[in-house]
Structure 1
Amino acid sequence: MFQPQLGLKGSSDRQQIDDRLVHHPHVYEFFTAARDFTPEGYRHLARAIQYVQSQGIKNIVLHHPMTFHGYHSDVVAPEKEYPDLYRFIETTTEQLIRLADDYHVQVLVHGGYSGDQVKHMVALYPSVESARQAVYQRLDRFTRAGRDQIMFENSIAPVFAYCDPDEEDEILSHHYRLAFDISHCFIGLHGDNRGLQASLKHLAPAVVHYHLVDSMGLTHDSLTLGTGKVDWAPVLPLLNPHATSIYEINLRDQSNCQEQLDSHAYLCQIARHLRKKEKN
Structure 2
Amino acid sequence: MFPYLGLKASTDLAQIKNRLQYNPQVFEFYTDTHDLTSDGLIHLADMIDLVKAHGIHQIVIHHPMKYQQIHNEMFADATKATAEYNFLMSGSEKLIQLAIKHDVQVLLHGSYNEPISYIKTFYPSVTAARNLVFKRLAYFQSLGGDHVMFENSISPVFPFGDSTIDQRIFQANLRLCFDISHGFIYLHGNNQRLQTSLQRLAPHIVHYHLVDSMGKTHYSLPLGQGKIDWAALLPYLNVQATNIFEINLKDQMNCQEMIDSYQYLQQLTTAN
Match status 1:53 vs 2:63: no
Match of 1:90 in 2: 89
Amino acid at match of 2:59: I
Partner Cα separation in structure 2 for residue 33 and residue 88 of structure 1: 11
Aligned residues: 272
Amino acid at match of 1:148: D
| C-alpha displacement of 1:122 | 4.2
Contact preservation (8 Å) 2:3, 2:242: no
Question: 1:1-280 maps to which residues of 2 (within 5 A)?
Answer: 3-116=2-115, 119-274=117-272
Partner Cα separation in structure 1 for residue 84 and residue 170 of structure 2: 27
Contact preservation (8 Å) 1:119, 1:157: no
The Cα offsets for residues 201-256 of structure 1, whole Å up to 9 and x where unpaired, read as 00000000000000000001110000000000011111001000000000000011
Partner Cα separation in structure 2 for residue 124 and residue 73 of structure 1: 15
| C-alpha displacement of 1:79 | 1.0
Partner Cα separation in structure 2 for residue 32 and residue 58 of structure 1: 18
Amino acid at match of 1:159: V
Partner Cα separation in structure 2 for residue 202 and residue 56 of structure 1: 33
| C-alpha displacement of 1:173 | 1.0
Pair 1:115–1:129, CA change in 2 (3 A): closer
Amino acid at match of 2:270: R
| C-alpha displacement of 1:123 | 4.6
Q: Report the aligned-residue RMSD.
A: 1.1
Partner Cα separation in structure 1 for residue 143 and residue 38 of structure 2: 22
Pair 1:119–1:46, CA change in 2 (3 A): farther
| C-alpha displacement of 1:271 | 0.6
Amino acid at match of 1:74: E
| C-alpha displacement of 1:272 | 1.1
| C-alpha displacement of 1:119 | 4.4
In the superposition, the TM-score normalised over structure 1's length comes to: 0.95
Match of 1:278 in 2: none
Contact preservation (8 Å) 2:27, 2:56: yes
Partner Cα separation in structure 2 for residue 267 and residue 29 of structure 1: 19
Q: Which stretches in structure 2 are left out of the alignment for 5+ residues? A: none
What's the secondary structure of 1:210's corresponding residue? strand
What's the secondary structure of 1:102's corresponding residue? helix
What's the secondary structure of 1:196's corresponding residue? helix
| C-alpha displacement of 1:121 | 2.3
Amino acid at match of 2:267: Q
Of all paired residues, the percent bearing the same amino acid is: 49
Q: Which stretches in structure 1 are left out of the alignment for 5+ residues? A: 275-280
Contact preservation (8 Å) 1:77, 1:121: no
What's the secondary structure of 2:220's corresponding residue? coil
